[in-house]
A and B are shown apart, each in its own frame.
Chain A
């Protein structure tokens, strides 16, 4: 009887130790809150490690300096339409920002002539202290729409100095994504001053908008290049299922809504087809949806194991997907940071740390650094 008791005691102690050890799995990173009470933060841009610009969907451009969120927003930012999925959204710095101080902002804007309509507009202006001056329009999506959904509104500079802008399908206008005479469901390419590069793919196509770089997209919420700028990655929301990660090439058709892995929110088919010759397949797709909301290609030094990975923030259920890429192929997917809620965006800081914002009227800016 005594032996039995001893065995039981040893077994219980063993399993307790095992369980404590198993639960004490230390993450290789730590999260710290840099700023809070942000009103639906959306875009993030680094002037330096110490100065961070953040757009708030409600219409303000905020500056975080030396870890402190300045109480007053940047002045001179044009009024945006905060409605549905619209508001002040994307931000990117000119590649030569140090010398010219240009920043680019994308936002939804009500039509001047018809208040029932609105559209996506991209502007640039000079950041002088805490003011934006000399604002000029770089791009305005045409035609305008009645809906306040699916703007896209992400931007990235290519290594040739041209700017890619994502322009969503406006939800109700999905079929327009297959036509070249409008900006719904397109990736747009313009020069840094808004003029149209001569080597755009449809400049010679009759009736086509010459700004178009690629088409057949839905709601494009992430666009980045790899380290040397040779590959452009883009992700977009599918409907119910069918979120996609695409590798973007000049003039290509990405299929929406003629081919899709998703179905409509009502449950109806959008298309029974998933592939067609002449239409590109995604590099990866998600069913059910994760609602991808932002992306960064990690090339920092703080996390050597993550170098070369794509990080995609997701609103549903709220996490970040790290995609490991080998020889241009996505070989694995890891779920990270899944305890802080809906994540609106993720970017890499100049020092190699990762920054994320959460999607809320009390949004937070998080910094991710190694645990050691």
Chain B
């Protein structure tokens, strides 16, 4: 059980990192296109900073108390729901767990990415989600996070 929780948390962290990295790369690609000096060092430091700010740093100032980082919290909620359905579905459907959880992760990210603009008057709070291609790549991040979870479950339970 502890192992499963650990894998679940790691899958959230992995997805959060991938989403952050996608945002970093989208931003830096544009900056590079307008002749800003984007070097390898800038890329590495930006990746680290975005991972820390998006995935680890508590949100200060939004509420009177500090709250956990929003992105992993959103992913956690999404994964909790979609993985629970997957766990139930796998009782009847024969499909490898890594694919089943991968699809579940993708569906979770699909809802996160498409529901955000509905809540925020058309605004995509994740900069990387502003184009159709960006949305697809974020859904793939969700798939990879779920795939990681499913593949670890396969190994522990086989």
Contacts and interface: CB of A to CB of B under 8 A. Distances in A.
B30 interface: yes
B34 A258 contact: yes
Nearest to B47: A269
B31 A271 contact: yes
Contacts of A146: 117, 122
Contact of A268 (B23, B34, B59): B23
Interface string A135-175: 00000000001111100000000000000000000011001
B123 interface: yes
A266 B71 contact: yes
Given A84-B121, A172-B124, A271 B36 contact: yes
Contact of A83 (B70, B71, B121, B126): B121
Interface string A265-289: 1111111110010000000000010
Nearest to A271: B31
Contact of B34 (A85, A148, A178): A178
Contacts of A31: none
A148 B122 contact: yes
A77 interface: no
**Which size bracket describes the interface of A in this complex?**
20 to 34
Contacts of A276: 36
A267 B69 contact: yes
Nearest to A241: B61
Interface residues of B, number: 31
Interface in B121-147: 121-127, 130
A172 B126 contact: no
Contacts of B126: 266, 268
Q: Chain A contact residues: over half helix, strand or loop, or mixed?
A: loop
B53 interface: yes
A264 interface: yes
A175 B127 CA distance: 11
B54 A272 contact: no
B36 A258 contact: yes
Contact of A171 (B34, B70, B123): B123
B121 A149 contact: yes
Contacts of A269: 24, 27, 46, 49-50, 53
A85 B53 CA distance: 27
B57 interface: yes
Contact of A175 (B30, B49, B123): B30
A276 B38 CA distance: 12
Nearest to A239: B127
A175 B53 CA distance: 22
A271 B53 contact: no
Nearest to A147: B122
Contact of A273 (B36, B121, B130): B36
Contacts of B27: 268-271
A267 B54 contact: yes
B6 interface: no
A272 B49 CA distance: 10
A34 interface: no
B130 A172 contact: yes
Contact of A147 (B31, B46, B71, B121): B121
Nearest to A267: B53
A266 B62 CA distance: 11
B105 interface: no
B102 interface: no
A35 interface: no
Nearest to A84: B121
A219 to B, nearest CB: 12
A264 B54 CA distance: 10
Nearest to B45: A272
Contacts of A268: 20, 23-24, 27, 50, 53-54, 126-127
Nearest to B71: A266
A232 interface: no
Interface string B98-128: 0000000000000000000100011111110
A74 interface: no
16 contacts: A84-B122, A146-B117, A147-B123, A148-B122, A172-B122, A266-B54, A267-B57, A268-B23, A268-B50, A268-B53, A268-B126, A268-B127, A269-B24, A269-B49, A270-B127, A271-B36
The 10 closest A-B pairs by CB, nearest first: A84-B121, A267-B53, A147-B122, A148-B121, A146-B122, A268-B23, A171-B123, A268-B50, A267-B54, A172-B130
Given A149-B121, A267-B59, A269-B49, 11 more contacts: A84-B122, A146-B122, A148-B122, A171-B123, A178-B34, A268-B126, A269-B50, A271-B31, A271-B36, A272-B46, A272-B49
